[in-house]
Structure 1
Amino acid sequence: MARRRLLASFALAGMAATVALAGTQGIASAKPKPTPAKPTKVVIILVDALSREIVDKYGMSNVQALMDVGVDTPRGYLGHTGSVTVVTHNVITSGLLPKHMGWTNEGYRDSLDVLPDRKATNAGDNLFISSNWTSAEMFPVQNKLGYPKLGDYLAKSGGVYTVSPKAYAAYGFSGDVPGTTTITFGGTVTCGTAPNTQRYRIPVGINLPSWLDTTCGSRWLVERDKGYDTLQEPARLYPALDDRYVVGDEAGHQGGDVWATDLSLRIMQEDEDWSGLFISLPGVDKAAHMWGGVNDPEGGDLDGDGQPDVIGYNELTHMEYATATADAQVGRIMDALEESGDLDDTVVVLTADHGSVAAAEDHFHGDFEPVNDYGLWNWYYGDVENDVYLDPQEALKPLVEEGNVGLSYSDSSINVWLKDQSPEAAAATAEVMATLPDVTAVWHRNGDHFDRVSPVRWERMTSPGERAWFVRKAQELVDTQAADYGPDLVATLPDDTTYSVHGDHGGIQRSTQQIPIVFAGGGLSSKDLHSEVRSVDIMPTLLRTLGIEPDAPMDGVAYKLPMG
């Protein structure tokens, strides 16, 4: 009965949606299937940047229904830094903390000597920006440490598929698992006859299915060169320039979350023997970065005077639309599993790769310039092997001018890879770092942990809850990226502060750490798990639920999920 109530709520949520979100690919009629002793299939639905705060504010009814009738984890949290996309997708499907999986953040020092130097000089210093990686860089780093991925286990019983419009998310999720399929976006094709031509993004990946048409006119192509209302502040720092991360307005070629869900439903239809499906939905993340997350001025009221003041306001780039879209896709996936008869044989995980910090007035420390994607210059500083950013925001200049920064990555924390890693040089840089706006503490890596090397600025934390969270979690979270390839120094920031774009990830804040982690389907009950479940616990918990003995140790805890 619980499952029927769940699916009824999905149907009602879909009927109440204020946006047209129907997909183009269906599911075959249900066939009676025997209930297995243990489930054999896994679906992970990852809604990028979905904090519990966002679920509640925007009333995401399908996500809330899943929490109600699945195994929710009310005390669950992300459990690591950097709390960023390029890290967490791999944490979830490896069961390892960042300090044991090969990279810890968007910055990376090649201490494992995996990637070739790209520069003839020493300018790069073996430092990389990991979100620029393709599979050609990410897979060798994963493989260097030799750990199995979730797909390695699932591929023994059926097809394993990863679908994500965001390439580095896709490859982190999937890993280098022989025979599995990864589908993402890349490249461009121009369709039509001049002067009526249009550029489209096309699907790329690994082991693409034969039915995936990538030619002009295919449903799976999505429009490029579309800015909507995002070519203005604050969205211009990281604008939507096509329909890869947003749904878009071209019927039959919807992108973002709808594209990923349509592909996933088609996979279920084409391969009845699938065993794993990892789906990453990017729409909420994009809207949150552009418009400040829960501070999004819906309707265009940027100055808060009650009057629309955004030229060309378009709802489809904003948080209300993005959350409704993501929520509808959760419902579509769950309905498809029920209709195909696979739900009792499938453990569904609903989670996120991080939450979203919304910068308060006077607590945004990035710069604005009339250039699209200028937020990249706020995020990164350094002449690294695979990019160059040498124009830091004003707030970061004292740190850069100190002269020892090889690479910095700044979001809702500040992470620094030093040129000179000696204790004396690190101490001098840390001293400057502690003077930067809104820094609450500075931490120096010491082997497998970080030492706090500055006083805690308690007065910069504005509530007892924020201070209590810092006491309980700051050391634990910072320590998860204590590895030679991780940052040498980390500065933590308050709940409402970013150095990059108006809504961001990265740090220890509750709004980026408190994410949904829900297990459903597979004969599970609606009894909640009240342990402090983390992202790193998802893989060992899945293996235990499926009755699979792991081949290698993991950092995560294998929780016993209550059965119905």
Structure 2
Amino acid sequence: MSRRTRPLLAVLGAGVAVAVAAAGSHSGAVAAPNGVPGPPAKPTKVVIIVIDALSKEIVEKYDMKNVKKLMADYVDTPKSYLGHTGSVTVVTHNVITSGLLPKHTGWTTEGYRDVDHVLGDRDTANGISDGMYISSDWDNTSMFPVMEHYGYPKLADYLDATGKTFTISPKVYAAYAFGGPGSSSIITFGSATCGTAPNTTSWRGPRGINVPSYISAPCGGRYYVERSKVYDTGKLPAVMYPVSDNRYVVGKNPDHLGGDIWATDMALDVMDHEDDWSGIFVTLPGVDKAAHMWGGVNDPDPTGAAGEPITHVPFAAATADAQVGRIMDKLEADGELDNTLVVLTADHGSVAVANPPNGVSSDAHFHGTVCTTPDCGFFNWYYGNVENENDTTNYNQPQDALKPLVATDNLAFSYSDSSLNVWLHDQSPAAKAEAAAIMADMPDVTGVWRNDGDHFTLVSPVRYDLMSTKAEQQWFDKHAQELVDTQAAPYGPDLVATLPDNTTYSVAGDHGGIQRAAQEIPIVFAGAGLGSRDVMAPVRSVDIMPTILKALGIAPTAPMDGVAYPLPKAK
């Protein structure tokens, strides 16, 4: 396939110009004339690009040209949506590469009750926590045992027959959920200090499983980024979940760029060094971090003399978009594009509070505590004791809206974002009824749902009056039951409360719920000789894995919840 000349997209921020290749006109491969072999009948390689928190709304608002180009030139899914709750990173990365709904994977959202004692019962310094864990705090020592206990293969297990798989994500829990135990190499961020006094520099650098030496060495090399970076995120609303280093943002040091460029550089390095790679799974986290801090599509953009574009959503969207182009260009330059199925998707969208909290007046649909201590938003997300080895915090500062439920002394744990998820000490019908009645009266709750084993039962009236448009009401009627039911498992929450659009209990922009903004994500299949005819079915994240296996001609060895869709080839 001939290579086209592509322009460079300049990503500018805080005086640093980062030139990154942008995707140009990518079209489905066709058989070349004069007897030259065309694309292989079945691809043998897979690249999955997850742009964290990329809703379709963000693609359009920030005119992500490379993402749109893939949608136009390859197989788009215009009716795609996430298809499960919790619509969060630690769940969806596992769904994508397992083909299973959360109710069959071992955990359903950021809260997890260890009902099968997979991880053992540990006493924390703050008391016994009912076997409750925060799954977004997990690494391989917690996540892999749960996957193995529930006994399902991951995509890496299928791809290892033809080569190595490499999983790359700046987020620890995303990396291990995405790759699983079968991934040949998992690369994420750790901590390291390099140099000798008095010129010691504190770096955050790569760690994981089987990290290649060209990535990990030397200490302080390219893949080590500067720590103790705040930029303009020490003010509201970002301070509730601010940056602290260059893991999730690009930063200003051109020799140690972080965030999406860090992850993409690493993926391209793997392609250069590993002749036998069969899978590369990469997460780009910049959009997610900016959306959490500043309120997603309601990001006010940099303001004042201290404003820093690199922490905000417009810069993050442009940067992520450019990395998509770089990966596609690299595959074509290496002659691998026709042999590689590329999947572009997101792990969830982003629900934005209409006016992010500013410390003076907060929007009527923000129900967390407006606070100014860095990372205080964690106390909006979580309430209760947890057994995680990596997190010994006692989450005992509930927002006012949650206090009536806390006052029952029956709240074991709660996780609140754009939905409310509750685990109770006493799980009797009477105790659940008491908690459900309290939740129904909490601000902006549109419905309360009780976990009845294999499904959730709606146990409150539906508050259509809280939904601002007819379209929102129709979305609720069509999808609420389906989405909540994907959490119906013993380890899932006892009760779930759904919330309307533009509503969070946590930070300025968040995920987790049934809202269209959280659910409507892109799912695009590219490369591999594919054409531009779209799949018009309502494709979900759980359908990605079986569709990949079908495209590669691999027979599944275990049941999956997803649908395997045929992908149209170029004519």
**What TM-score do the two structures reach when normalised by structure 2?**
0.92
Equivalent residues in 2 for 1:341-352, closer than 5 Å: 341-352=335-346
Q: How far did 1:22 drift?
A: 3.4
Gaps of 5+ in 2: 22-35, 355-362
**2:376 equivalent in structure 1:** 374
Q: How far did 1:539 drift?
A: 0.3
SS at match of 2:47: strand
SS at match of 1:160: strand
Equivalent residues in 2 for 1:157-176, closer than 5 Å: 157-176=162-181
* 1:427-471 alpha-carbon deviations (Å, 9 max, x no partner): 000000111110000000001100000000111000011000000
Whether 1:108 and 2:112 are equivalent positions in the alignment is yes
Distance in 2 (CA, whole Å) between partners of 1:332 and 1:447 is 46
Aligned counterpart in structure 2 of residue 279 of structure 1, from 271, 282, 286:
282
Distance in 1 (CA, whole Å) between partners of 2:462 and 2:194 is 55
* 1:123-172 alpha-carbon deviations (Å, 9 max, x no partner): 21111111111110000000001110000011110110000000000000
Could you tell me whether the CA contact under 8 Å between 2:134 and 2:386 is conserved in 1? yes
SS at match of 2:18: coil
* One-letter amino acid of the structure 2 residue matched with residue 479 of structure 1: D
**1:81 equivalent in structure 2:** 85
**1:225 equivalent in structure 2:** 228
Q: How far did 1:213 drift?
A: 3.2
Change (3 A) 1:451 1:17: same
Equivalent residues in 2 for 1:238-317, closer than 5 Å: 238-300=241-303, 308=304, 312-317=306-311
Could you tell me whether the CA contact under 8 Å between 1:21 and 1:258 is conserved in 2? no
Equivalent residues in 2 for 1:450-469, closer than 5 Å: 450-469=456-475
Gaps of 5+ in 1: 25-31, 301-307
Aligned counterpart in structure 1 of residue 189 of structure 2, from 185, 194, 217:
185
Q: How far did 1:396 drift?
A: 1.3
* One-letter amino acid of the structure 2 residue matched with residue 327 of structure 1: D
4+ residue segments displaced more than 6 Å: none
Distance in 1 (CA, whole Å) between partners of 2:18 and 2:551 is 33
Could you tell me whether the CA contact under 8 Å between 1:44 and 1:350 is conserved in 2? yes
**1:391 equivalent in structure 2:** 397
**1:21 equivalent in structure 2:** 18
Could you tell me whether the CA contact under 8 Å between 1:214 and 1:221 is conserved in 2? no
* One-letter amino acid of the structure 2 residue matched with residue 140 of structure 1: P
Aligned counterpart in structure 1 of residue 328 of structure 2, from 308, 328, 334:
334
* One-letter amino acid of the structure 2 residue matched with residue 328 of structure 1: A
Distance in 2 (CA, whole Å) between partners of 1:155 and 1:112 is 30
Change (3 A) 1:122 1:316: closer
SS at match of 1:384: coil
Q: How far did 1:401 drift?
A: 1.3
Change (3 A) 1:132 1:342: same
Equivalent residues in 2 for 1:201-212, closer than 5 Å: 201-212=204-215
**2:565 equivalent in structure 1:** 559
Distance in 1 (CA, whole Å) between partners of 2:549 and 2:298 is 39
Distance in 2 (CA, whole Å) between partners of 1:406 and 1:22 is 50
Change (3 A) 1:189 1:18: closer
Q: How far did 1:402 drift?
A: 2.2
SS at match of 1:263: helix
* One-letter amino acid of the structure 2 residue matched with residue 83 of structure 1: S
Whether 1:356 and 2:358 are equivalent positions in the alignment is no
Q: How far did 1:122 drift?
A: 5.8
Whether 1:43 and 2:47 are equivalent positions in the alignment is yes
* One-letter amino acid of the structure 1 residue matched with residue 226 of structure 2: E
* One-letter amino acid of the structure 2 residue matched with residue 273 of structure 1: D
Whether 1:98 and 2:95 are equivalent positions in the alignment is no
Q: How far did 1:216 drift?
A: 3.4
Distance in 1 (CA, whole Å) between partners of 2:478 and 2:46 is 33
Q: How far did 1:188 drift?
A: 2.8
Could you tell me whether the CA contact under 8 Å between 1:33 and 1:342 is conserved in 2? no
* One-letter amino acid of the structure 2 residue matched with residue 334 of structure 1: M
SS at match of 2:213: coil
Aligned counterpart in structure 1 of residue 134 of structure 2, from 102, 122, 129:
129
> Percent of counterpart pairs with the same letter?
61
Aligned counterpart in structure 2 of residue 149 of structure 1, from 154, 172, 178:
154
Distance in 2 (CA, whole Å) between partners of 1:39 and 1:558 is 16
Whether 1:403 and 2:409 are equivalent positions in the alignment is yes
Moved more, 181-190 or 144-153: 181-190
Change (3 A) 1:33 1:138: farther
* 1:316-360 alpha-carbon deviations (Å, 9 max, x no partner): 000010000000000000000000000000000000000000012
SS at match of 2:195: strand
Equivalences, count: 540
Equivalent residues in 2 for 1:459-538, closer than 5 Å: 459-538=465-544
Could you tell me whether the CA contact under 8 Å between 2:18 and 2:254 is conserved in 1? no
**2:312 equivalent in structure 1:** 318
